Chain A
Amino acid sequence: MHKLSKKGGEKYLSIWWFFILILIAASIVAGVAMNSVGEANSKEIESDILATRVVDCLVSQGMIKQSLVDGSMDILNECGLNKKIIDETGKYYLRIEIFDSDKCDINNKDFNCVGRLNEFGVHAFNVQCNQPGENFPKCIEKKFYALNSSNDRFLVKIMAGSNMLGGTI
């Protein structure tokens, strides 16, 4: 039977030892590299900021702006949002629906009643929102009731989505 000398055994052991060390190092380097290259996800925060910004500009002291009800409001301009960025970058979505709550039973999910709909950005986000996965947009929905100057009650539903991941240039 062939036997390794003590010195030979140590030699093989140290080779295996360094092989294991290299393996550990490679795993840690790969993990750290993936983590530092990966994006810190801020889509949800951005969607929330967008939705809040829109709520703030559509309603003042609980009264909805009449131009929004009429459909004459230039929403993006009024809310201080850049039309080019929202509509053309393909990274944002904004959906604003207004229902006359006297005519619609919203609480019982009677969504057959027609609300006034305004949509900006990538319409497909309406379906893709909050799907599991890094590449899907994150969206925030806000709903509130507001009165107009004639005391008519409206339900306003706002959905804002972002799929913005910055990039190295």
Chain B
Amino acid sequence: MENLMFLILNMLFCVILFVFIVSSTSGEAVLRQKYAKEIALMIDEAKPGTTIYIDASELIDRYGKEQGIGIKIDEDTRKVIANFTGHRAYAFNYFTDAHVKLEQLQNRIILTVEKNA
């Protein structure tokens, strides 16, 4: 009986650790950084008149459509802000002077980069 308990507790320990590692490495903090940085770099690299389509199925599968895509552009501070759960947001600057429009169409994010008037 004691041996069985010992074995179960050890297995429980391994499972908890495994779940923690998996959830941490593919967690929200990583996704926030990934999307904010990638979008900011895409904006910086894009020439005026460019439209970029980004597949956001990963976000919709995980957080649902109700909350929206969870990414917005703040043109005053020139920041891409990613916030998927409404708690913590991650922001990353872009340096171009372009006018950027972000829309969501089904599972895609559509970024339109236009010359600033």
Q: Are A82 and B96 in contact (CB under 8 A)?
A: yes
For chain A, the bracket of interface size reads 35 or more
Please measure, in the bound complex, the distance between the C-alpha atom of A39 and the C-alpha atom of B90, giving whole angstroms: 11
- Chain A at the B interface: mostly helix, strand, loop or mixed? helix
- A107 interface contact, C-beta 8 A: no
A92 to B25, CA, bound (A): 30
CB distance from B14 to the nearest CB of A (A): 9
The answer, yes or no, to whether B93 is at the interface (CB within 8 Å) is yes
A106 at the interface (CB under 8 A from B): no
B54 at the interface (CB under 8 A from A): no
Binding site for B on A (CB under 8 A): 10, 14, 18, 21, 25, 28-29, 32-33, 35-37, 39-40, 42, 45-46, 49-50, 52-53, 76-77, 80-86, 89, 91-92, 164, 166-169
Give the interface residue-count category, chain B.
35 or more
What residues of chain B lie closer than 8 Å to A86, measured between beta carbons? 95
Q: Which residues of chain B have C-beta atoms less than 8 A from A18's C-beta?
A: 9
Task: Tell me if A50 and B90 are in contact (CB < 8 A).
Answer: no
Please tell me if B53 contacts chain A, counting CB pairs below 8 Å. no
A10 — which chain B residues lie within 8 A by C-beta? 2
| Contact assessment for A81 and B96 in the assembled complex, using a CB-CB cutoff below 8 Å | yes
Number of A-B contacts defined by CB within 8 Å: 88
Contact B78 A85 (CB under 8 A): yes
Q: How far is the CA of A164 from the CA of B116 in the complex (A)?
A: 23
Cα A36 to Cα B32 in complex, Å, equals 11
CB distance from B31 to the nearest CB of A (A): 11
Q: Separation in Å of the A96 CB from the closest CB of chain B?
A: 15
* Whole-angstrom distance between the Cβ of B27 and the nearest chain A Cβ: 6
A166, B90: Cβ atoms under 8 Å?
A: yes
A67 CA / B74 CA spacing, docked (Å):
33
| 26 A–B contacts from the bound complex (CB under 8 Å) | A14-B6, A21-B13, A25-B13, A35-B25, A37-B29, A40-B37, A42-B41, A49-B41, A49-B45, A52-B45, A53-B44, A53-B45, A80-B48, A80-B98, A81-B96, A82-B97, A83-B97, A86-B95, A92-B95, A166-B40, A166-B90, A167-B90, A168-B88, A169-B81, A169-B88, A169-B89
